[in-house]
Amino acid sequence: MARAVRSDKPRLLENIVCVKGLLLSASGAQPTTDKAGAAHMHNTRGLGLANCLAAYDVGVKTFASSLGGLGGCPYAPGASGNVVTEDLVFMFEAMGIRTGIDIPKLLAAREALHQGLPEEPIFGMVADAGLPKGWRQAGP
């Protein structure tokens, strides 16, 4: 279910570049806390997860992503879609950063997505490779 999110925090929306320098400049090279806002990244050149990690490193803790990387950007011709939620959650959980999102349930939701949009390409490295043997999500 989609829902509108209202926030007084700034949001960083990236399309096709690496954002680390921009993030450091915007944050004054100091990690921030409640003022960090949110980030919405695309994965056009394979930098989406790296950009999310760069945003996290300077204090961003809220990310917009999409199941299967669904979507794109009308303002960036050739944009390949949004950061894949499954890959983003896996990255943070593998780093020991608890997300509160159940990855096996998230991966199972892809089937409903595929059935509902059978012609739409669905992306995701974790879905393609599977979870590592003995995988356990980050603890509380």
Give the residue numbers annotated as catalytic, written as ranges: 73
The single residue listed with the structure tokens 């992306």 is: 123
Spatial separation of the C-alpha atoms in residues 25 and 85, rounded to whole Å: 27
Spatial separation of the C-alpha atoms in residues 55 and 12, rounded to whole Å: 9
Task: Pick left, alpha or beta for residue 91 (phi over 0 → left; psi -120 to 50 → alpha; otherwise beta).
Answer: alpha
